């Protein structure tokens, strides 16, 4: 026990010296006054030729003077963030002690107990890393700032640097974006909303998480009331007021610019907010290709959709975003949308081909179906009978997709999609997934990125905006090195691509046919329930080299009149017309062309290889993987099956019915005369033969029209008996 006590005391003394040394060193750090007083910062961003991207990359130009803000606005932040702000000297030791105990219990640095002054230090002088060393530096610098500035000056600086989400740094910028008014005009409900957001701008976003934001706002109001900063009358009125936004539309272009997407990606890479990126002097080098960016922007101008929209160009081989455009007052890539039928290649047909469940020519019965209590419908409630998987995909027919998903299995199909970058909610476990019915959905970056798998011989890596990042001294701190994952065989990827080429020629994306290039495409349309209008319209198209994704819709879910095969496909067509992509898909050596028996496919919906005797007109050429070839060979034209005859007598006439095949010729002979000859017809046929005697023989012959030597014949006798004027025919 004595030894243990000595060890503990020694450890505490050592820890004390360690903390003291960090604290003393931190006290010698100079406060960067320029950063405190100049919140307007910019980030240098470059394209793929290392030329500056000419977009607005400034971080917050707006500034609010403390004397212009209402007491209710100031008190909202103080009540929720730092009740003792005007009483402490930069640090609240009681809160720190409590937070440390909670952190020790959890084993993680979850709580910081930072005062407003400490938060100002963290946002302007230090990185956001959660370490004890940074926390000690934060305390030391907070105390220095308290000696340099008055409380009101500190509060003003703080309110002009904190982050409110959606690229809003500072209360003036946030007020302008969320409420379209200057900060001096904020009412108590609006000020409380902003004060509640800063703990976690994503979690408490009034745009994405309305309920969370409302609860948090009401907590701020409650704390203000407890602190005596808000009367009970005002509190009751405010807490019963709905959360109301008035988003500023002037900011939408910057919010969804290529530069902003690169900044967002840099925040994830460097694990610091964009303000810190600007403060630290990092330079971001991207994959943006100006010619493709210009072409994408022009392709949208030519269609000019009157709704929110986004477009993306991905370099398939480099997994790089070459161009991006977005138009909305919301940040598009932060939102998820239902993908509609664009999910079918990723979740349904691609997995089914790779699992050797279907061929492109596999016949699927399109009929009214109920599966696991789910009764889906086709568009306009139209059902086509048997269709090939190729046609079902290219024409985006719903029922076959759901059937194929059932063959693959939902969980296995989701694994394939997840390996291509699509994320699911735990509630995504129904067959409606085959039609894009997800709980939350996906975004255009994920969806277009998934399609690059098919162009890349079955390999996937996430598409990125950033190529590399340097620090202020031009030292390389990050370089993108994509790690590809094999999702499916290259032959499976090519077969799927070949099916989507059909979609671009004769399917829902047939507007692309006039391009006359090697392109694969899929459209998707998400209808608005109980309405003739839609919510989302998609087209994802790709060549061997590039993938182009287009989305039209409204993030507030107001309806649109567009459909995937129309305006989005038109935009894709415009883009490739400008760019002139002439690349061709590479055909893997594991892809072979085989002849199959078309008659067997039409009659029995089976995929069987054609034998050497089948005439060319009854042969259908199809491509297959060498790993999944049809095992059966047709016996057509090498032998012949006798047709099933149904015979009866009506009056003095014999009637013979049978199912005819268009490649067979049928001859009926009676009394040495040919009664009827049928050729080139399909389906039920009826032959009527006059009965001229009490016993009459009929010969029914059948042979291949193009190979008459292969034949069969049947004889039928019709015998009449008479008893007491009661005639009866026996067959």
* Residue positions annotated with a catalytic role: 81, 341
Alpha-carbon gap, residue 573 to 584, rounded angstroms = 17
Report the distance separating Cα 434 and Cα 430, nearest Å: 9
CA–CA dist 225, 234 (Å, integer): 9
- Give start and end residues of each alpha helix (H) in 180-314: 188-197, 210-226, 232-239, 252-255, 258-270, 274-280, 290-303
Q: What is the 3-state secondary structure (H, E, C) of 14-39?
A: HHHHHHHHHHHHHHCCCCCHHHHHCC
Beta strands in 493-565 (DSSP E): 520-527, 534-542, 546-553
Phi, psi of 560 (to 5 degrees): -125, 165
CB 164 within 8 Å of CB 173: yes
> CA-CA distance, 164 to 123, in Å (whole number)?
13
DSSP H helical ranges for 487-631: 490-505, 567-579, 598-604
Length of the chain: 731
Residue 471 has which token pair?
């620090």
- Residue 312: phi and psi, rounded to 5, are -145, 145
Instruction: Give the long-range contacts of residues 212-221, CB within 8 A, separation 24 or more.
Output: 213/243, 214/243, 217/189, 217/192, 217/193, 217/243, 218/192, 219/80, 220/76, 220/79, 220/80, 220/192, 220/193, 220/195, 220/196, 221/188, 221/189, 221/192
And the tokens for 7? Answer: 């060890």
> What tokens appear for 208 in the block?
């994405």
Which residues are bridge partners to 619 per DSSP? Answer: 597
Instruction: Give the H/E segment covering residue 3.
Output: helix 2-27
Burial of 606 (0-12, 13-18, 19+ CB in 10 A): middle
Phi/psi region, residue 50 (left: phi>0; alpha: psi -120 to 50; beta: rest), is left
Residue 639 vs residues 256, 275, 413, 439, 704: alpha-carbon distances, Å: 67, 80, 42, 55, 9
Sheet-wide strand order for 466-470: 44-46, 283-286, 466-470, 476-479
């Amino acid at each position: 026990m004595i030894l243990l006590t000595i060890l503990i005391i020694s450890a505490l003394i050592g820890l004390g010296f360690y903390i003291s040394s960090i604290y003393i060193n931190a006290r010698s750090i100079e406060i960067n006054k320029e950063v405190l007083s100049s919140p307007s910062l910019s980030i240098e961003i470059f394209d793929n030729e290392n030329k500056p991207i000419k977009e607005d990359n400034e971080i917050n130009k707006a500034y609010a003077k403390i004397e212009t803000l209402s007491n209710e606005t100031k008190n909202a932040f103080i009540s929720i963030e730092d009740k003792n702000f005007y009483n402490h000297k930069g640090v609240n030791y009681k809160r720190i002690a409590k937070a440390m105990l909670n952190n020790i219990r959890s084993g993680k640095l979850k709580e910081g107990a930072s005062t407003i002054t400490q938060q100002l230090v963290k946002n302007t002088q230090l990185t956001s890393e959660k370490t004890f060393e940074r926390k000690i530096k934060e305390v030391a610098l907070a105390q220095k700032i308290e000696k340099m500035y008055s409380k009101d000056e500190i509060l003003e600086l703080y309110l002009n640097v904190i982050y409110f989400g959606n690229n809003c740094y500072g209360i003036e910028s946030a007020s302008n974006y969320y409420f379209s008014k200057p900060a001096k005009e904020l009412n108590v409900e609006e000020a409380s909303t902003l004060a509640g957001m800063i703990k976690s701008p994503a979690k408490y976003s009034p745009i994405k998480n309305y309920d969370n934001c409302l609860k948090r706002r009401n907590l701020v109001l409650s704390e203000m009331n407890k602190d005596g900063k808000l009367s009970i009358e005002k509190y009751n009125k405010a807490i019963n007021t709905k959360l109301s936004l008035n988003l500023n539309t002037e900011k939408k272009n910057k919010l969804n610019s290529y530069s902003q997407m690169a900044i967002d990606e840099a925040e994830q890479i460097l694990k610091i907010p964009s303000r810190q990126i600007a403060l630290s002097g990092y330079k971001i080098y991207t994959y943006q290709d100006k010619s493709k960016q210009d072409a994408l922007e022009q392709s949208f101008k030519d269609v000019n959709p009157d709704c929110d929209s986004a477009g993306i160009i991905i370099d398939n081989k480099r997994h790089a975003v070459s161009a991006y455009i977005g138009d909305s007052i919301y940040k598009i890539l932060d939102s998820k949308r239902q993908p509609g039928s664009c999910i079918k290649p990723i979740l349904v047909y691609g997995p089914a081909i790779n699992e050797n469940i279907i061929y492109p020519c596999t016949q699927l019965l399109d009929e009214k179906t109920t599966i696991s209590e789910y009764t889906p419908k086709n568009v306009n409630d139209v059902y086509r009978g048997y269709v090939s998987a190729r046609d079902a995909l290219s024409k985006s027919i719903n029922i076959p997709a759901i059937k194929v998903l059932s063959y693959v299995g939902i969980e296995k199909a989701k694994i394939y999609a997840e390996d291509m970058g699509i994320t699911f909610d735990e509630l995504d476990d129904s067959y409606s997934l085959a039609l894009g019915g997800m709980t939350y959905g996906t975004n255009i970056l994920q969806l277009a990125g998934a399609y690059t798998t098919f162009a890349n011989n079955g390999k996937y890596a996430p598409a990125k905006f950033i190529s590399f990042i340097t620090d202020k001294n031009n030292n390389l701190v990050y370089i993108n090195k994509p790690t590809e994952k094999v999702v499916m065989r290259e032959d499976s990827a090519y077969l799927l691509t070949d099916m989507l080429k059909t979609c671009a020629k004769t399917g829902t994306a047939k507007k692309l046919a006039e391009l006359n290039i090697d392109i694969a495409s899929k459209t998707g349309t998400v209808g608005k329930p109980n309405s003739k209008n839609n919510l989302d319209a998609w087209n994802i198209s790709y060549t061997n080299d590039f993938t182009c994704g287009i989305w039209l819709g409204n993030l507030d879910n107001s309806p649109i009149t567009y459909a995937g095969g129309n305006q989005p496909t038109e935009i894709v067509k415009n883009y490739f017309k400008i760019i002139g992509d002439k690349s061709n898909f590479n055909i893997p050596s594991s892809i072979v062309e085989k002849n199959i028996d078309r008659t067997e496919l039409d009659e029995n919906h089976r995929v069987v290889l054609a034998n050497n005797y089948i005439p060319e007109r009854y042969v259908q050429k199809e491509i297959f993987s060498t790993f999944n070839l049809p095992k059966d060979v047709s016996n057509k034209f090498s032998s012949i099956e006798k047709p099933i005859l149904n015979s009866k007598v009506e009056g003095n006439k014999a009637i013979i019915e049978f199912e005819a095949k268009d490649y067979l010729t049928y001859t009926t002979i009676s009394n040495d005369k040919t009664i009827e000859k049928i050729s080139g017809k399909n389906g039920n046929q009826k032959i009527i033969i006059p009965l001229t005697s009490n016993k009459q023989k009929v010969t029914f012959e059948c042979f291949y029209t193009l190979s008459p030597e292969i034949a069969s014949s049947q004889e039928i006798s019709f015998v009449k008996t008479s008893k007491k004027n009661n005639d009866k025919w026996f067959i």
